[in-house]
Amino acid sequence: MPLFYLRRLTGSDRTEQANRHLARYLAFIAGAVNAGGFLAVRQYTSHMSGIVAAMADNLALGSLPLVLSGGAAVLSFLAGAFFTTLCIRWARSKALESEYALSLIAEAVLLVLFGMTGEVFSGGRVLGTVMLLCFTMGLQNATITKISNAVIRTTHITGMVTDVGIALGRIVSAPSKERQIAIQGESATLRLLSSLIALFFVGGVTGAVGFRYAGFFFTLPLAAILLLLAVMPVVDDVRRHYRAPS
């Protein structure tokens, strides 16, 4: 990838095109982590609705340990989003180019940790694995949410499908004379959301196949992609720091 493209992709100077491109990369990553993580621990780690629903079921059935495990997963996702917000606000206070890149680098580091120690985590410590992966998904979802001002999320497929339905409804319900205008107005949204859903699915297939053949190491290429996406703003900040007068 050209360096200027990587700099625009995760730098502080945002464009709508950069937001959409980054969202597509992250949707693929989220799908891969979610599917591979499910094969590793038998639980999806980006699906907070499902986890909360399972907590309610387990509470009704009297399975308190499973309720507590679900709560730990939700809190881990929340902690990831919380950590991302702190990183972004700290970087902004320092006027850093890497305000959005830092949380992606943190996600990459955690995926490397999972890939290198996954067997240890899973050996009787499934909850630790779930919490780690939920934390990474919270990191990622909060990053793209902050970048796009809450317009785009990469782990919330339910919301994306809902938005696709709304956009199609607007097109169908438009008067015939205004139908073409409605199509043009909604086409960009439909292309983005459809691509995010498709890439989440492709990422899921990739993560499942990767875990099947490479085990926990399937996360290492994903971490490499994240590092590639996030490295240039960090390099720019380091260069600026050493060039600044003491």
Taking the C-alpha atoms of residue 239 and residue 24, their distance in angstroms, rounded to an integer, is: 29
Q: Mean pLDDT across the stretch 79-86?
A: 94
Task: Tell me the torsion sign for CA atoms 156, 159, 165, 167.
Answer: negative
Q: Mean pLDDT across the stretch 126-137?
A: 85
User: Residue 8: is its pLDDT beyond 90?
Assistant: no
User: Residue 188: is its pLDDT beyond 80?
Assistant: yes
Chain mean pLDDT for the chain? 86
pTM, to two decimals: 0.88
Phi, psi at 47, each rounded to 5°: -105, 80
pLDDT band per the 50, 70, 90 thresholds, residue 1? low
Q: Two tokens at 168?
A: 């199609």
User: Residue 124: is its pLDDT beyond 60?
Assistant: no
For the chain, the domains span 3-151+203-234
Q: ∠ CA 185-186-191 to the nearest 5 degrees? A: 130
User: Residue 246: is its pLDDT beyond 60?
Assistant: no
At position 84, the amino acid (one-letter code) is T
Total residues found in the chain within this entry: 246
C-beta separation of 34 from 44 below 8 A: yes
